[in-house]
Amino acid sequence: MAKLLSLLAWVQTQQDGVTFINISPKEPQHNIAWVILSTFALIAIALLVTLGIGIGTGFFRIWIFKLFPGNKLNGPEYEPTTRLHLLDRSKPET
């Protein structure tokens, strides 16, 4: 606690009393170049994390398919999505 107080305030004793002088760190001066570089660094980190999650999910799916080869997700008779046939020009059956 004493070290923390000594970092936050410097006490100078004088003959007529005690004077407190606050020492605060200087605020960093950020210019537009620093902001742009920080933004690109954040985007790069987000892309790397997304790429890592995608590759990890792909390897997990491959591992599951090899572990359970007869599952419904791996067979040709199973269609996991509903197809709307929007480009089919034939008339629907009524």
SS3 assignment for 16-30: CCEEEEECCCCCCCC
> Is residue 6 included in any domain, yes or no?
no
> Is residue 94 included in any domain, yes or no?
no
The Cα-based distances of 72 to 26, 69, 76 in angstroms read 62, 9, 9
Range of the domain at 39: 32-74
Per-residue pLDDT reduced to its tens digit, 46-55: 999 999 999 9
Q: How far apart are CA 50 and CA 56, in angstroms?
A: 10
Overall number of domains in the chain: 1
Q: Which residues of the chain have pLDDT under 70?
A: 1-19, 71-82, 91-94
Q: According to the model, what pLDDT value does residue 11 have?
A: 47
> Is residue 8 included in any domain, yes or no?
no
Q: According to the model, what pLDDT value does residue 37 have?
A: 94
